[in-house]
Chains A and B, each alone.
Chain A
Amino acid sequence: MIAVAEVTPVWYLVLGSILFSIGAVGLLVRRNPLVMFMCIELMLNAVTLTFVTFSRMLRDVDGQAVVVFVLVVAAAEVVVGLGIIVALLRKQPSATADDVNVLKG
């Protein structure tokens, strides 16, 4: 079946979906806040791959422009998120995501 040898854009979309679901499962399974963050990065990257593929399918540069903004938002998110994680782990070095329950009702 690999002898088809024609890489259609759908292959990229399927790969993006697989990466997104791996990231989603990781986000649900892991309890280390840093690894959860890496899984979010994984999901963001899957989406950027999908955007670039759509940009190629539609012959439109808009998809690539969106990827630039996704990169910026990812950078800002990592900066703030790691700030929170540093503040959390400084108090309690073995904290997991389950320990962040101050706002729990």
Chain B
Amino acid sequence: MAASGSGFHADPMHQFVVQQIFPIHIGGLDASFTNAGLYMVVVIALATLFLGVAASGRSLVPGRWQSIGELSYEFVANMVRDTAGTEGMRFFPFVFTLFMFILFANVIGMVPYTFTVTSHIIITFALAAVVFIGVTVLGFIVHGAKFLNFFVPHGVPKVLLPFLVVIELISYFTRPMSLSVRLFANMMAGHTMLAVFGGFVVMLGLLAGWLPLLFSVALIGLELLVAFLQAYVFAILTCIYLNDALNMH
């Protein structure tokens, strides 16, 4: 939010611009290393570092870092066990990785001047697509062709059946969409709002700037909550989908 150069220019969307850091071209493909890529590397490095530090002590009475590590482990483990059952615990590493990645991406995005990886729909969609395709394949592996029964509701008149199967199919294909849009929209809306109110502070100056400043402080608190909540929602919906694939209700 710099008011540098010729007067003040607040562009709340500027923070979402993807910039090249160094160009890489493979064939006709633009695989350049961008700030989005950089922050994904940062997210993974910090999450790995955090869990490495947390797991390095291995003391019986945990210290601070180990406590946080154990807390996050148990939080996700309970979530998987509660929603997908003990059978679903096979997929705990996947869900935990997903949860930590999204949580770290969201929280790191709260640091000023950083880039929020999860505020781009292509990234959240990629995550959701992995979940969606993985769960669908899993359903077919576990149940074989019987998994198609998932789309046939029980106890309905024969006349309505084709109609309802189409609706069930649409409802199923909605999953990656709602999963990705929810995370992306929350992050993008929150960060835009933060930038807009930050811009107000600069615009109004000392005279009335403290009012949007107060609002900004409250908003940052809310955004931290949303950062955690959205990681949680993404992880728990993954568990619910896993449960559907494993147990078919």
Q: State whether these chains interact.
A: no
B-to-A contact residues, CB < 8 Å: none
